Amino acid sequence: MSGVSVTKGAEDAVPAATDLVVLSNVNKHFGALHVLQDIDLTIARGEVVVVIGPSGSGKSTLCRTINRLETIDSGSITIDGKALPEEGRELARLRADVGMVFQSFNLFAHKTVLENVMLGQLKVRRTDKKAAEEKARKLLDRVGVGSQADKYPAQLS
């Protein structure tokens, strides 16, 4: 099975001021399996990106590398013009700013979609509940699932 391969074009090779996430020639192997193969991807500030592909193609691995939940074998990743931190306080600061929600098995089953999205703002950022809810609703609307806010993970497809 081949891994995920994403290319947006040569014009994206030089990071622009609006580029938020830039992956350049990123490779990741799990043993003999080459999951991420020479990934070049630029995500602009405010851009919404959807990663699709068959099960096992590397979608989750790609997302996990951006938050350094997975290390890469070669290539580079920059966030807001800075190289992805290796470890320590810089990485902790990045993780406090980058929220990731994976497939439903990683959502808290006893919390609604809205409560799951609010959780980082409440626990990490110590945002007050009203502001966290307002931001969470805007984010859910932005990705087209605002109508699912009050559902629990088991109620989602």
Q: List residues bridging with 40 in a β-sheet.
A: 7
| Amino acid in position 48 | V
pLDDT beyond 50 at 5: no
Q: Is residue 48 part of a domain?
A: yes
CATH of the domain at 34: 3.40.50.300
Would you say the pTM of this structure is higher than 0.75?
Answer: no
Domains of the chain: total: 2
The model's pLDDT over 12-21, given as tens digits with 9 standing for 90+, comes to: 445 566 888 9
CA distance 56 to 112: 28
Domain match, 149 and 116 both = yes
Q: Which pLDDT does position 9 carry in this prediction?
A: 44
The model's pLDDT over 63-78, given as tens digits with 9 standing for 90+, comes to: 889 888 889 999 999 9
Q: Is residue 63 part of a domain?
A: yes
Q: Which pLDDT does position 12 carry in this prediction?
A: 44
CA distance 57 to 52: 9
Q: Which pLDDT does position 48 carry in this prediction?
A: 80
The model's pLDDT over 7-46, given as tens digits with 9 standing for 90+, comes to: 444 444 455 668 889 999 999 999 999 999 999 999 998 8
Domain match, 123 and 79 both = no
Domain match, 125 and 66 both = no
Which residue range(s) make up the domain with 150? Answer: 104-155
41-54 as b/e: b if 16+ CB within 10 A: bbbeeeeeeeeeee
Domain match, 133 and 81 both = no
